[in-house]
């Protein structure tokens, strides 16, 4: 049976009608999900990174297309079936109960099942990172976001206001509301929440994959350090918004600059990730030299 599947359904011999039928089936299944996401979580600053994550996944898979096609098909039908069952159950529960985490998350086991069905475990090892990266597209549960975001916002507000006050600015704080001169600013979830940290973690993971680091210890350490890096980047973002509002008025702080501050967040975070990465590399070289 494995030989038959390998010969008839492998990507090298997969005919156009079968491929179009497969794509149409996925489109029918996840098309309504995409529409729901486009009208809900993807229009919000907190989880607007979803389409970007999906585009990156497609780009990563496209880059592996030749290596994928060259793999000799050795389908794992049993494992593929279990993945399909898990994926469809998650999809049915998520769609029927409006649980986006399950509905979107079902794409991951279904994608794994397709790879195992057509090619086998070697192809899954080749594509493991793009499939893993889909996790960052899955909407986080609202209760988890609220539970973690609230103390994060308070901490970011406290640190940002303290730094600006030390620098001589008339900044006060009441919870997550900052007062600077005659203006008041509310530190929103997008400025200092779990979702921004989740997005920055995705950015760091992508960076490590593109750099093709082989050391598991280095990858784990950098992934952990991305958490405080994102915290610092969020503080810098809030400080920029406070300073713009103070010097140029509330309209400037809530206009173009407010949206641009989101880009600043990622630029600062990426710069810090590069700095920490180079620091870790220098320390590793120094330790190696000392051992010699």
Q: Which residues of 91-124 are buried (b: 16+ CB within 10 A; e: fewer)?
A: beebbeeeebebbbbbbbbbbbbbbbbbbbeebb
**Reduced DSSP (H G I as helix, E B as strand, rest coil) percent helix, strand, coil of the chain, to 5:** 80, 5, 15
Q: What's the burial of 64, exposed, middle or buried (CB within 10 Å: 0-12/13-18/19+)? A: middle
Burial of 83 (0-12, 13-18, 19+ CB in 10 A): buried
As a whole number of angstroms, the distance between CA 205 and CA 273 comes to: 11
Candidates 173, 191, 285, 291; catalytic one = 191
Which has the closest alpha carbon to 60: 168, 137, 143?
Answer: 137
List the beta bridge partners of residue 186.
Answer: 177
Residue 190, classed as helix, strand or coil, is helix
- Is 127 marked active-site? no
Give the residue numbers marked as catalytic. Answer: 191, 237
């Amino acid at each position: 049976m494995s030989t038959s599947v390998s010969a008839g359904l492998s990507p090298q011999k997969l005919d156009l009608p079968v491929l179009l039928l497969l794509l149409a089936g996925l489109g029918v299944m996840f098309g309504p999900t995409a529409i729901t996401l486009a009208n809900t979580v993807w229009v919000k600053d907190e989880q607007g990174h979803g389409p970007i994550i999906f585009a990156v996944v497609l780009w990563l898979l496209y880059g592996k297309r030749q290596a994928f096609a060259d793999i000799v098909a050795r389908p794992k039908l049993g494992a593929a079936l279990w993945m399909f069952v898990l994926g469809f159950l998650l999809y049915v529960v998520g769609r029927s109960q409006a649980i986006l985490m399950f509905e979107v998350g079902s794409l991951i086991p279904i994608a794994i099942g397709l790879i195992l069905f057509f090619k086998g475990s070697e192809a899954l090892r080749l594509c493991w990172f793009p499939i893993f990266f889909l996790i960052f597209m899955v909407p986080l549960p609202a209760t988890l976001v609220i539970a973690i975001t609230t103390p994060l916002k308070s901490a970011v507000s406290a640190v940002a206001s303290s730094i600006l006050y030390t620098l001589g600015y008339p900044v006060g704080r009441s919870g997550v509301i900052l007062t600077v001169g005659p203006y008041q600013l509310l530190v929103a979830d997008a400025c200092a929440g779990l979702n921004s940290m989740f997005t920055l973690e995705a950015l760091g993971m992508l960076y490590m994959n593109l750099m093709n680091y082989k050391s598991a210890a280095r990858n784990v350490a950098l992934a952990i350090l991305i958490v405080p890096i994102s915290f610092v980047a969020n503080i810098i973002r809030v400080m920029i918004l406070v300073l713009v509002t103070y010097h140029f008025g509330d309209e400037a702080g809530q206009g173009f600059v407010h949206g641009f501050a989101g880009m600043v967040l990622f630029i600062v975070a990426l710069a810090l990730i590069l700095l920490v990465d180079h620091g870790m590399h220098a320390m590793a070289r120094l330790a190696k030299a000392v051992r010699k």
